[in-house]
C-alpha cells in the first residue's frame, strides 16, 4: 500500500523514459498563416477571433493586421488517426494562459493553457474535449542554447483511450507538465 503522493510520484516518475520514447513532439503553427478552413483554425476559431479583436482595438498593433488577416497566435498540435476519424490534440498560447516568464530577463518556463482534443470525420469537426496542459515555445535560434530543444510531447494509448502530455524545458522533463487525459 502507498501514500497517495508516493503513488502519484511513482506513476509519473517511473514511465518518463518509456513515455518519452513513445511520445511525439507537437508541431508548431501560427494562426496568422492558417486558412479559415484549416482544422486548427476551426478548433481555435473563438480564440483567433478574440486575438484579432484585441489587435484591432490596439492603435499601435492594428497597423500590423490587414483586414482579412489573422493576428499572430501560436498553436502546437499533433494528429492521430482513430477508427476512420482524426484526433487532433492542440494547445494555443492565448491571453488566457497562466504563468510563464513575461520579461526578457526571466527564465524560460511553460504556460498553463487550454488543451483541445478534437475529433474530425471526413474533415468535419464532430467533438471537442477540453483539458489544460503546458505550452512552451519550440526550438528557435534566438533562445538560449539550453532551451533550443524545448518541446511539448504527446503519446496516445489507443487501447486505453488515453493521451499523455509532457513538456521538456532546458533539457529536463517537467513533472508539473505531465498530464494524462482519458478520451470521452
What is the tens place of the pLDDT at every residue in 10-33? 334 434 444 444 899 999 999 999
Cell 497597423 identifies what position? 63
Q: Are 108 and 101 in contact (CB under 8 A)?
A: yes
Grid cell listed for 21: 520514447
C-alpha to C-alpha distance for 8 and 141, rounded to whole angstroms: 36
Does the structure show a pLDDT above 60 at 3?
Answer: no
Pairing of strands 162-169, 179-182: antiparallel
Q: Are 71 and 31 in contact (CB under 8 A)?
A: yes
What pLDDT, in 10s, does the model give residues 50-95?
Answer: 999 999 899 888 777 887 889 999 999 999 998 899 999 999 999 9
Instruction: Compute the C-alpha angle 123/152/180, nearest 5°.
Output: 80
Listed residue (150, 148, 110, 149) closest to 132, CA to CA = 110
Amino acid at each position: 500500500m502507498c501514500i497517495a503522493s508516493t503513488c502519484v510520484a511513482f506513476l509519473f516518475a517511473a514511465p518518463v523514459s518509456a513515455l518519452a520514447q513513445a511520445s511525439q513532439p507537437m508541431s508548431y503553427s501560427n494562426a496568422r498563416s492558417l486558412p479559415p478552413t484549416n482544422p486548427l483554425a476551426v478548433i481555435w476559431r473563438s480564440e483567433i477571433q478574440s486575438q484579432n479583436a484585441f489587435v484591432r482595438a490596439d492603435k499601435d498593433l492594428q497597423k500590423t493586421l490587414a483586414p482579412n488577416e489573422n493576428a499572430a497566435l501560436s498553436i502546437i498540435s499533433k494528429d492521430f488517426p482513430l477508427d476512420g476519424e482524426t484526433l487532433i490534440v492542440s494547445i494555443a498560447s492565448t491571453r488566457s494562459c497562466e504563468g510563464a516568464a513575461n520579461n526578457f530577463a526571466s527564465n524560460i518556463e511553460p504556460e498553463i493553457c487550454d488543451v483541445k482534443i478534437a475529433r474530425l470525420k471526413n474533415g468535419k469537426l464532430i467533438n471537442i474535449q477540453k483539458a489544460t496542459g503546458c505550452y512552451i515555445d519550440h526550438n528557435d535560434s534566438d533562445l538560449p542554447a539550453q532551451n533550443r530543444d524545448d518541446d511539448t510531447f504527446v503519446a496516445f494509448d489507443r487501447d486505453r483511450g488515453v493521451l499523455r502530455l509532457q513538456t521538456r524545458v532546458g533539457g529536463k522533463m517537467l513533472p508539473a507538465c505531465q498530464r494524462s487525459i482519458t478520451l470521452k
